[in-house]
Amino acid sequence: MSYISERNNIGKIALHLDQINIPYRFQDIGDQEDKIFPALICTFRVENLEFDVIIYNLNKWIHVKTLVMDTADLSSDILLKVYELCLELNYDLPEVTFSAFQKNIFIEVDCLVDVDFDDFKAEFLSIGDGIEAFISTIKQRQNISIQSTKGFVPDKNSKMRRKKIKTF
Q: What domains are defined for the chain?
A: 3-142 (3.30.1460.10)
pLDDT > 70: percent of the chain: 88
Residue 112 to residues 35, 85, 133, 166, Cα–Cα distance (Å)? 22, 28, 25, 15
Instruction: Classify residue 120 by its DSSP letter.
Output: H
pTM: 0.85
Is the model more confident about 139 or about 83? 83
Instruction: Using CB atoms within 10 Å of the CB of residue 12, give its burial: 0 to 12 exposed, 13 to 18 middle, 19+ buried.
Output: middle
How does pLDDT run across 19-52, given as a tens digit for each residue? 999 999 999 987 656 678 899 999 999 989 999 9
How does pLDDT run across 74-92, given as a tens digit for each residue? 999 999 999 999 999 999 9
